[in-house]
Structure 1
Amino acid sequence: MTDSTQLIAVLTPLPVLVPLLAAACTLVLGRRPRAQRWITLPALVSVVAISAVLLFLADRDGTTAVQVGGWESPIGITLVVDRLSALMLVVSSIVLLAVMMYAIGQGISDGNDDQPVSIFLPTYLALTAGVCNAFLAGDLFNLYVGFEVLLAASFVLLTIGGSADRVRAGVSYVMVSMVSSIIFLAGIAFAYAATGTLNFADMALRMDEVDSATRNAIFAVLLVGFGIKAAVFPLSAWLPDSYPTAPAPVTAVFAGLLTKVGVYAIMRTHSLIFPQGALDNVLLVSGLLTMLVGIFGAIAQNDIKRLLSFTLVSHIGYMIFGIGLGSVTGLSGSIYYIAHHILVQTTLFLVVGLIERQAGSSSLRRLGGLAAASPVLAVVFLIPALNLGGIPPFSGFIGKVALLQAGAADGSVLAWILVAGGTATSLLTLYVVARVWSKAFWRARADAPEGGLADVSPSALLDQSGRTIAFDQRADVGRMPGPMLAPTVGLVVVGLALTVFAGPLVRISDRAAENLRDRSVYITAVLGDDDGSVDTEQPSREEAPR
């Protein structure tokens, strides 16, 4: 075993173990918020550093599998570090750290009365462990465990504050997530019945011997389970009603990150276990409808949170587009676009939290004049908004161009329809963010239909006709705390780094996509080929007319 392999073996479990241990410590110190923060921040910083080292080693040395507990694969728990999982760890850990700093800044500014930090920090760390576990999982059941940790933690985070809207949204979210988990568990049962294993690499070999109809049925069940979590149309209706009610940090990490875990699961199982391409047309059509339905929903919204929730759904379609194409170019474009979208979408939801601080509302009917009131806030919104819209030379443009080129290279009728749909979605996204800019930032606040109500507190008194007759001014209106602004600006800078360092990052995405297409790399890393008994040749794709 080389020194590099030993280092990876030591580091690989840490992105899961460090947050779990920190969560236990912060739970014990529930009555000492400052001590909780001093544990949480170093823990998340260490996860960022460990993930960066894993990405460097994975890109230099290739895929490495770590067997937990001394049990050999495919029996034991396997954690796998390759370029895709390491890149997802790095981007996710950066976002999780920034959002935590934002949340801590918000808690310091508000005090701890409205935000039960004693619960928030341990739960957030558990969420971090679940995300990292999902990316490192080398078998279906461990992936399921990661999803369940996410579900338990996200329900607590979604209902923090105990308001009726949050509890209602939390119950809806949990019901949908439970249905998704049940379907996922059924898919695991079907896969195990067909192959006798849950290890990804072992299942990839055995699934080739399963009847094609049975194999496609198993993949379809798993796609439904993952599609709900990823908010892929027609399984995305739950998302716009669930996310906007949560506190700004929770909404940001949910919108930016959690749906991408579902996309990652689709990408991993599609390329490794079901590479024959029988359901690629289903993925392409679903990707197209996700793009269009999401962006049309965004156009109809007047609340920035709901608007961004619909754009989130819409841009999931780009990622599914690349996965459905199945080519190296398409997968590379999807990988790069996932990294881009995690950063940009999270940043925009954090900016919405700052808008609510500055103006007292996130409704476009009540906002106006923000560019004059806070030029810094205007810049912090404008950069990620243009990035989301795909304006060159930002990373959103680079990712979309890569996906459109992959569609053009495919050359099928359906792929060209996706190219047209992706272009239209990009233009409509630009229209949506320009609408937010013109109404919230550029026009005078006096011109807003409800401009005088932006800073009304939720306890405003209304008469029988619904008119406001008395209200208390919100105490936090007009304040944009530095501890909340700093991590938001930091994410803007990291998003710009995706553009500045687009060349190296695209090359990493290309190499990750090549590994996905050549699944022998993954299988050999997990099962080995010393005895020559492992056949790692990728089966030919079952091409269906598009």
Structure 2
Amino acid sequence: MSAPLDKIVDLSAAMLTAPVPPAHWLVILPVALCLVLGAALMMLRGRAVLQAYIAVPGLAVLAVIDAALLHEVWTEGPVTMVMGRWLPPFGIAFTADLLGASMALAGAIAAFAGGLYALSDVSPSGRRYGFFPFLLLLMAGVTGAFLTGDVFNLYVWFEVLLISSFGLLILGSEREQIDGALKYAVLNLIATTLFLVAIGYLYAIFGTLNMADIATKAKAVRGSAPLMTLASLFLIAFAMKAAAFPVNFWLPASYHTPRIVVSALFAGLLTKVGIYALIRVLVMLLPVERGNLSLLIAIVGAATMISGALGALAESDVRRMFGYVVISGIGNMLAGIALGSVEGVGGSIFYALHSIVLMTALYMAAGQAARLGGSFALSDLSGLWRQNYLFAGLSLILFLAACGLPPFSGFWAKVILVKAALDSSAWWLAGTILFTGFLTTIAFGRVFLFAYWRPANIQMRTSLGAAAAPNPQVTWQAGLPLLLLTTLVVGFGLFPEALLRLTQLAAADLLDPTAYLHSVFPGGAS
């Protein structure tokens, strides 16, 4: 029944009655921007020329908003906004901490670079069939997953990014793309089902899906509730989405099939959402259960590293090889999660941010190598160094960063993880990180020697249909994003202090989520 009209109802116990601070709108604004722009581009489907002029500036604005959000979180602490102004845990919360805000910013930078690259890589037909709307909706899902404070909405944003990724994967409707999309879809749908089962199990245990509320109640129910079973379900589901061993075969079987810009975005973003979810759930919500599963996670991480490095050594197709490099990187991030210390988790976060930028750039470099050389096969590529010195130099920097060699960002990610492993007496895990780095160096050295340093075979290149000009040029639409991302790789390698501090603080906040909980429940109780 409704309350009497002459009676004043006190809503302060159920709703936020104070005005929302302007800075808190930054939490929801990135997702709202992507959804609005994606819907607008869908309505402009018949005018494909206009889509790029809307999407690329929109992605630049997204990066600026995410940078402002990261600055707000860095200076003021975690920020929470609740939908409908209902108090949590009843209202759906968006909460940005250092981990979520930094991942959202890195993803926005990679998406902006991808939007620029698409200007030369995606045909008018691909634009008409929805490349830019799918890209904006993909970023809505990715950003929503990074910023949500509700486990069920984490599932919802996973679904948003999966639906848009299916559309990007089959854009072009070639036989190879359909085959890759089928493998991608089957494994991800199985993982999504397990994720949904785990969410139902979680709700049955806690009676809530708010992350801060779960973290608060976990201690009280640990002795009576089957939290190990719950943590294991989440581990399996997110490990499948992150392409961890032994369910990693879908990634190199599908990431090489779409347009190269789509492969670049997938390699940079999608598996990192799985790693982010693992960190958020196991490190912040279920830390004791993560500790009990640490040996298993470490073994899976080591196997993922080794299988990825060996796969990269065995591959002769550059795109498929880079897919195995993505897998090997996932193993490094799992190693940090297994260690569970501030240094280990911070190393995983550092590696994830580095990998978002690096893997996006590597696939873009592969696309340019194929344009100059006429093929993705190492047996057909040659002489790229003499064709374009600047492009070859950028590629070499990216290769060295992927190997974890100084003075680039990949070096610091490996150093942090190795130190954290040695501090935890996990010498075998530190040795695996170093050994797989050595194997990766051999794999990339092979690519550089064959594709770049080997003298060009003009007769073979002409038969493949590549340009036979002595100094073919890289278009600005492809060169500018590649230069932007490579600059970040070099910058964070030469000046790593700010990123190191950010990732260590983010890890400390996850292991002691007091600030996160206070942001969601300012009164100190759920």
Q: Does 1:97 align with 2:104?
A: no
Q: Which of 387, 391, 398 matches 2:405?
A: 391
Q: Does 1:29 align with 2:44?
A: yes
The Cα shift of 1:454 comes to 4.8
Q: Which of 518, 525, 529 matches 2:519?
A: 525
Change in Cα spacing, 1:452 to 1:68, as seen in structure 2 (3 Å) is farther
Q: Does 1:499 align with 2:514?
A: no
What code does the residue aligned with 1:91 have?
A: A
Q: Does 1:82 align with 2:97?
A: yes
SS in 1 for 2:208: coil
The Cα shift of 1:376 comes to 1.9
Any residues of structure 2 matched to 1:460-479 within 5 Å, and which?
473=465
Q: Does 1:191 align with 2:202?
A: yes
SS in 1 for 2:287: coil
Q: Which of 276, 285, 294 matches 2:308?
A: 294
8 Å CA contact 1:291–1:316 kept in 2: the answer is: yes
Q: Does 1:166 align with 2:168?
A: no
- The C-alpha deviation readout for 1:389-414, integer Å capped at 9, x for no partner, is 11112111111101111111112xxx
What code does the residue aligned with 2:450 have?
A: K
8 Å CA contact 1:48–1:94 kept in 2: the answer is: yes
CA distance in 2, matches of 1:158, 1:307: 18
Any residues of structure 2 matched to 1:275-290 within 5 Å, and which?
275-276=287-288, 277-290=291-304
CA distance in 2, matches of 1:4, 1:500: 43
What code does the residue aligned with 2:87 have?
A: E
What code does the residue aligned with 1:258 have?
A: L
Range that drifts further, 209-218 or 44-53: 209-218
- The C-alpha deviation readout for 1:308-334, integer Å capped at 9, x for no partner, is 100110111111111111101111111
The Cα shift of 1:43 comes to 1.4
> In the alignment, what sits opposite 1:14?
29
CA distance in 1, matches of 2:225, 2:258: 42
Any residues of structure 2 matched to 1:181-260 within 5 Å, and which?
181-208=192-219, 209-211=221-223, 214-260=226-272
- The C-alpha deviation readout for 1:258-291, integer Å capped at 9, x for no partner, is 1000000000001221111111111111111111
> In the alignment, what sits opposite 1:544?
none
CA distance in 2, matches of 1:4, 1:368: 63
What code does the residue aligned with 1:98 have?
A: A
Q: Mind listing any 5+ residue stretches in structure 2 that lack a counterpart?
A: 1-15
CA distance in 1, matches of 2:309, 2:207: 42
> In the alignment, what sits opposite 2:8?
none
The Cα shift of 1:75 comes to 1.1
What code does the residue aligned with 1:270 have?
A: L
8 Å CA contact 1:366–1:452 kept in 2: the answer is: no
Change in Cα spacing, 1:247 to 1:455, as seen in structure 2 (3 Å) is farther
CA distance in 2, matches of 1:89, 1:231: 20
Q: Mind listing any 5+ residue stretches in structure 1 that lack a counterpart?
A: 458-472, 535-546
- The C-alpha deviation readout for 1:292-311, integer Å capped at 9, x for no partner, is 11101111000111111001
SS in 1 for 2:124: coil
The Cα shift of 1:455 comes to 5.6
TM-score normalised according to structure 1 size: 0.89
8 Å CA contact 2:307–2:328 kept in 1: the answer is: yes
CA distance in 2, matches of 1:335, 1:47: 21
CA distance in 2, matches of 1:339, 1:5: 30
Change in Cα spacing, 1:222 to 1:455, as seen in structure 2 (3 Å) is farther
SS in 2 for 1:80: strand
> In the alignment, what sits opposite 1:122?
133
> In the alignment, what sits opposite 1:354?
368
Change in Cα spacing, 1:4 to 1:442, as seen in structure 2 (3 Å) is farther
The Cα shift of 1:521 comes to 2.0
CA distance in 2, matches of 1:14, 1:455: 50
Following TM superposition, where does structure 1 have runs of at least 4 consecutive aligned residues deviating by more than 4 angstroms? 451-457, 474-479
Any residues of structure 2 matched to 1:119-158 within 5 Å, and which?
119-158=130-169
8 Å CA contact 1:116–1:161 kept in 2: the answer is: no
Change in Cα spacing, 1:499 to 1:410, as seen in structure 2 (3 Å) is same
8 Å CA contact 2:382–2:452 kept in 1: the answer is: yes
Any residues of structure 2 matched to 1:378-457 within 5 Å, and which?
378-411=392-425, 415-446=426-457, 453-454=460-461
Q: Does 1:106 align with 2:117?
A: no
CA distance in 1, matches of 2:460, 2:231: 51
8 Å CA contact 2:406–2:493 kept in 1: the answer is: no
8 Å CA contact 1:302–1:363 kept in 2: the answer is: yes
8 Å CA contact 1:360–1:456 kept in 2: the answer is: no
Q: Which of 31, 46, 63 matches 1:48?
A: 63
8 Å CA contact 1:255–1:312 kept in 2: the answer is: yes
The Cα shift of 1:476 comes to 10
SS in 1 for 2:64: helix
8 Å CA contact 1:255–1:346 kept in 2: the answer is: yes
The Cα shift of 1:483 comes to 1.3
> In the alignment, what sits opposite 1:539?
none
CA distance in 2, matches of 1:5, 1:382: 49
Q: Does 1:303 align with 2:317?
A: yes
8 Å CA contact 1:240–1:309 kept in 2: the answer is: yes
Any residues of structure 2 matched to 1:60-71 within 5 Å, and which?
60-71=75-86
Change in Cα spacing, 1:476 to 1:138, as seen in structure 2 (3 Å) is farther
8 Å CA contact 1:37–1:104 kept in 2: the answer is: yes
The Cα shift of 1:117 comes to 3.9
- The C-alpha deviation readout for 1:323-366, integer Å capped at 9, x for no partner, is 11110111111111111111111101000110111111010011
- The C-alpha deviation readout for 1:404-449, integer Å capped at 9, x for no partner, is 11111112xxx21100000101111111111100011111233xxx
What code does the residue aligned with 1:429 have?
A: T
- The C-alpha deviation readout for 1:127-170, integer Å capped at 9, x for no partner, is 01000000001011110011001110000100111100001111
CA distance in 1, matches of 2:160, 2:101: 20
The Cα shift of 1:453 comes to 4.9
CA distance in 2, matches of 1:23, 1:118: 13
Q: Does 1:266 align with 2:266?
A: no
Count of aligned positions: 505
Q: Does 1:516 align with 2:516?
A: no
CA distance in 1, matches of 2:295, 2:224: 16
Change in Cα spacing, 1:417 to 1:154, as seen in structure 2 (3 Å) is same
What code does the residue aligned with 2:517 have?
A: I
The Cα shift of 1:4 comes to 12
What code does the residue aligned with 1:218 have?
A: L
- Quick one: percent identity of the two aligned structures? 35
8 Å CA contact 1:116–1:160 kept in 2: the answer is: no
The Cα shift of 1:474 comes to 5.7
